[in-house]
Amino acid sequence: MGRSSPFLMSLFAFLVPFSSLPIQSLSSTDSFVFVGCTQQRYAPNSPYESNINSLLTSLVNSATYSSYNNYTIMGSSPQDVVYGLYQCRGDLSMPDCATCVTRSVSQLGMLCSQACGGALQLQGCYVKYDNATFLGVEDKTVVLKKCGPSIGYDTDAMSRRDAVLGALVTTGGPYRVGGSGDVQGVAQCVGDLSLVECQDCVSEAIGRLKSDCGGAVEGDMFLAKCYARYQTGASHMYSNSKNHPAGKSSNDGEKTFAIIVGLLAGVALLIIFLTFVRKVLEGPGGK
Ligand SMILES: *[C@@H]1O[C@H](CO)[C@@H](O)[C@H](O)[C@H]1NC(C)=O
Ligand SMILES: *[C@@H]1O[C@H](CO)[C@@H](O)[C@H](O)[C@H]1NC(C)=O
């Protein structure tokens, strides 16, 4: 009886890291950021469904040679038209872009099954489709805002952060990176915006980061057509700490996913543990 307790201990030791996935660095690629699906659904095996499938196939194929593209699939009737685009982060190589979009499309298929429209942001790419056109339309709606806990009174780090964010505003272009000391920032527009619209969108995202994520160790501001994010050296400690005191982050999807991974890991370890206990009970000679 007393024998099993060390193994139970090791079971829980394994569960802890699995159920608190670390915050991803700004340059990772495939991890989940957010997903959104429309309420309206389409009928299975409808013409609209086959149009979505050909749209998503086109996006995946295009991502092997371009970091942005848009498609409009015309149906035989006007209500079957579907619009879609993808945007890879500016630093991704073409193979990485294709991998990211492929992954994103397959996750969309599961997460937004039979939804008329869906949008999924991974760290490295964004994919969206809908039956209402959104191509070429600037949209500064806040889709995801996430602020880390307050950095406290480290005014030095905060002034470096403000400098990095300020530089992101003036850098120009659809993809912008900057850093100062341990502070890193990145901004990305979706490729259907003009340079002027992109500038406007990034300025808005950064203004909101500054006002909403005041003294936060890290911040993410995803608007419908662009995003801006930053991390400081303290982000690392924040992501490693189990309790996020001031981190009222709103990324429930990430948490749910972490919990599911934790549960799966727990089940797997339980099976290994029970197998082991059975072996021990059966003794060296077997039955
Ligand atoms: C999109 O599809 C839904 C469900 O079929 C429909 O109610 C809506 O009117 C469509 N929107 C457009 C712009 O066609
Ligand atoms: C969509 O793609 C077409 C063809 O590649 C391109 O000419 C057009 O400018 C794109 N539209 C937008 C809004 O990006």
Distance (angstroms) between ligand 1 centre and the Cα of 154 equals 50
Nearest CA to ligand 2 atom 9: 192
Nearest CA to ligand 2 atom 13: 136
Q: Is 135 in the pocket of ligand 2 (CB under 6 A)?
A: yes
Distance (angstroms) between ligand 2 centre and the Cα of 138 equals 14
Q: Is 70 in the pocket of ligand 2 (CB under 6 A)?
A: yes
Cα separation, 228 vs 187, in Å, equals 4
Average pLDDT over residues 118-128: 97
Distance (angstroms) between ligand 1 centre and the Cα of 79 equals 7
Look at residue 26 in the predicted model and tell me its pLDDT.
73
* Segment 176-183 long-range contacts (CB within 8 Å, at least 24 positions apart): 176/202, 177/91, 181/157, 181/233, 182/157, 182/232, 182/233, 183/157, 183/230, 183/231, 183/232, 183/233
Give the pLDDT confidence of 133-156 residue by residue, as tens digits. Answer: 999 999 999 999 999 998 776 788
Nearest atom in ligand 2 to the alpha carbon of residue 191 is 14
Q: Is 192 in the pocket of ligand 2 (CB under 6 A)?
A: yes
Give the pLDDT confidence of 254-269 residue by residue, as tens digits. Answer: 444 444 455 555 666 6
Nearest CA to ligand 1 atom 12: 132
Residue 57 CA: distances (Å) to CA of 29, 30, 129, 136, 142? 20, 19, 12, 21, 28
Helix (H) / strand (E) containing 155: helix 155-171
If one compares 241 and 280, the residue with the highest pLDDT of the two is 280
Range in 15-29, 49-63, 168-182 the model is least confident about: 15-29
- Domain boundaries in the chain? 7-130, 142-238
Contacts of 21 (CB under 8 A, 6+ apart): 254, 257, 258, 261
Q: Model pTM?
A: 0.76
Helix (H) / strand (E) containing 275: helix 252-282
Same fold, 7-130 and 142-238: yes
Q: Are 12 and 6 in contact (CB under 8 A)?
A: no
Range in 10-19, 98-107, 193-202 the model is least confident about: 10-19
* Residues 142-238, CATH architecture: 2-Layer Sandwich (3.30)
What's the CATH class of domain 7-130? alpha beta
Nearest CA to ligand 2 atom 4: 70
The closest alpha carbon to 108, from 55, 146, 67, belongs to: 55
If one compares 280 and 63, the residue with the highest pLDDT of the two is 63
The closest alpha carbon to 42, from 160, 130, 167, 144, belongs to: 130
Show the ligand 1 pocket: residues with CB < 6 angstroms.
40, 42, 79, 116, 131-132
Range in 61-70, 123-132, 244-253 the model is least confident about: 244-253
Nearest atom in ligand 1 to the alpha carbon of residue 116 is 2
Distance (angstroms) between ligand 2 centre and the Cα of 191 equals 9
How much is the mean pLDDT over the chain?
Answer: 82
If one compares 158 and 128, the residue with the highest pLDDT of the two is 128
Nearest CA to ligand 1 atom 7: 40
Give Cα 33 distance to the centre of its chain: 2
The closest alpha carbon to 258, from 32, 6, 7, 2, belongs to: 32
